[in-house]
Structure 1
Amino acid sequence: MVRQLRRWHIVSTVVILVLAAVSSLIGLFRTGHYQAPPELVEAYQIQDLTILVVGIPVLAAGLWYAIRGSVRGRIIWIGGLAYMTYMWASIAIQIPFNELFLVYTALFGLSLFTFVDGMVSTDAERIRQTVEGQINVALYSGALTAIGLGLGALWLSDVIPPLLTGTTPSLIEESGQQAMATHVIDLGVVVPSILLSGAWLYRERTWGYVFAGVVLVLGATLAAPISIMTLVFMMGDTVSVSPIAAVFTFLPVLVSALLAVTYLRSMGSRTHPTADENRKQSI
């Protein structure tokens, strides 16, 4: 049975798009909205800009085509929701408390629950039939595993030495405790998801094809904000970024972006059959 988008999926996604646009515009143009050092304010505004020019268009395009039954659109839509979940969780934790705190929280909650139900209501077998034989499973699973291990090693290198020496990570000293939000989200959710996707895809499990596509779209969508913010931090004096850390920050998102494009292209423009088409096939 082919599963189409539920009505509340559409309503929730539209609300996310509207709230995300309003919040990002306020962050960009309201003077004094962010009470933080200038370098961090610049980074926060880069997040707002990339949400406007990358995150919102990706989610809107995914919704548009998913409504029309496109399997490619379904993956883009879910990947866009994963991006919104990631970004608004980070923003709600990292941004100094302001008048939009409940908006950030609402965006995180809406994105998370829409993402979860969007995943479980996806016709995974249909996605597999569309992608299977069109991609090199060994290449994609190997790349996902390498990305997951590299990202995990990057963040653990910030955490393990201070734990062994009983000191405080330099990132906390430079930016405050909230700066570790990315480490928590990546190490607790993103890295395990990437590794699980790679393992399932390597074993050619049906959900591995779905998870791989969603994770790659997430990585591709995150490429812009992560890359630009890393450059901002490298050019500023507030947060220290070593050349090695920069390489291991840029490389995974760039590889994800490249693989996401080839993954989506492999899906072509195939669509889910409509209910009438299903009945005709049954007859």
Structure 2
Amino acid sequence: MTYMIVMLMAVSSAAGLWIPGLYRDAPATEAMFRGYDLVSLIIVSPGLLAATLLTRRGSARARLIWAGLLAYGVYGYAFYVFGTAFNDVFLAHVAVFTLSVAALVLALANLDVVGIANSFGERTPVRTVSVLLLLLAVPIGAFWVFFSLRMAVTDQPPADTLLVQSQSGLHLAYVLDLALLVVPYVLAAVLLWRRAPWGYVAAAVLSVSGLVHQLSYIAALAFQAQAEVPGSTAFDPQEPVIVAVFLIALTLLLVNLPSRKRAARARAVP
């Protein structure tokens, strides 16, 4: 299924980038998805292929990265499936989304969670990573909840991000952020803080997925600015900080997960 995802993602992303007018949406939405396509084509597709091949060779790090990229496929392509008009690659987008859901569920169901958790070094800074995940989850969750409650009381529309979106697009972003980012980040942080096996896995998977999402957001801003979308900006000053937090959290986890050879040597030592 992953090979099918890679192929369909690469083809549909290339089409979105190089076929004029493929997206039959407003200019802001078209530019946003072209930015997403760039990241899918040059990062997610080759990353998935490499991680899959390394996973078959027994790399635990690659397995977590593979699952993280599949998680991005679920989150990122939910925007394509639910946030665009019909277009020539509609079925490819649906297939990538559906296959990503199925592959992620099967990957996690067949993951040796306890074995991977036990492979992490004792000095893994789990509480530092937990705090970083909470720093990523709590502000966006608090803002989205506040703006949603304010709308319920005052009928004032929720605040937009620097990424120019329609109200329907903003609604979808709120739904996906609250359901697929905020709640999972908090749960992963709590589990990791308690050193529960699933905490290690969830934190790594979500860090990979979140990092790619931020790169997609940065690319979308640049594409909107290049397309001269009214109200667009090419740079969000918060993004370098957010990307750095994701990178730090992911690095702190993966550097404390030994390679297959190191783990085998460690088990061989009496």
Asked if these proteins are the same fold (TM beyond 0.5), I'd say yes
Q: 1:180-199, aligned counterparts within 5 Å?
A: 180-199=171-190
One-letter amino acid of the structure 2 residue matched with residue 161 of structure 1: R
Contact 1:227 1:250 in 2 (8 A): no
One-letter amino acid of the structure 2 residue matched with residue 117 of structure 1: L
Residues 148, 234 of structure 1: alpha-carbon distance in 2 compared, 3 angstrom cutoff: farther
Let me know the Cα RMSD of the aligned residues: 2.8
Q: Distance in 1 between matches of 2:197 and 2:8?
A: 34
Q: Distance in 2 between matches of 1:104 and 1:168?
A: 30
Contact 1:198 1:208 in 2 (8 A): yes
Question: Cα deviation per residue 1:181-228 (whole Å; 9 max; x = unaligned)?
Answer: 121111012111100000000011111111111111112222211223
Structure 1 counterpart of 2:256: 266
Q: 1:10-21, aligned counterparts within 5 Å?
A: 12-21=1-10
One-letter amino acid of the structure 1 residue matched with residue 184 of structure 2: S
Deviation at 1:149, TM superposition (A): 0.5
Deviation at 1:129, TM superposition (A): 1.7
Deviation at 1:238, TM superposition (A): 4.0
Structure with bigger RCO (C-alpha 8 Å, 6+ apart): 2
- Determine helix, strand or coil for the equivalent of 1:135: coil
Q: 1:103-182, aligned counterparts within 5 Å?
A: 103-169=92-158, 171=160, 175-182=166-173
Identity %, equivalent residues: 28
- Determine helix, strand or coil for the equivalent of 1:196: helix
One-letter amino acid of the structure 2 residue matched with residue 91 of structure 1: Y
Residues 162, 169 of structure 1: alpha-carbon distance in 2 compared, 3 angstrom cutoff: same
Q: 1:1-283, aligned counterparts within 5 Å?
A: 12-169=1-158, 171=160, 175-230=166-221, 237-238=229-230, 246=236, 251-270=241-260
TM-score computed with the length of structure 1 as normaliser = 0.82
- Determine helix, strand or coil for the equivalent of 2:255: helix
Q: Distance in 2 between matches of 1:91 and 1:61?
A: 24
Which stretch of the first structure deviates more once superposed, 23-32 or 149-158? Answer: 149-158
TM-score computed with the length of structure 2 as normaliser = 0.86
One-letter amino acid of the structure 1 residue matched with residue 205 of structure 2: V
Structure 2 counterpart of 1:9: none
Contact 2:120 2:258 in 1 (8 A): no
Q: Which runs of 5+ in 1 are unaligned?
A: 1-11, 275-280
Q: Which runs of 5+ in 2 are unaligned?
A: none
For these two proteins, the number of residue pairs brought into alignment is 262
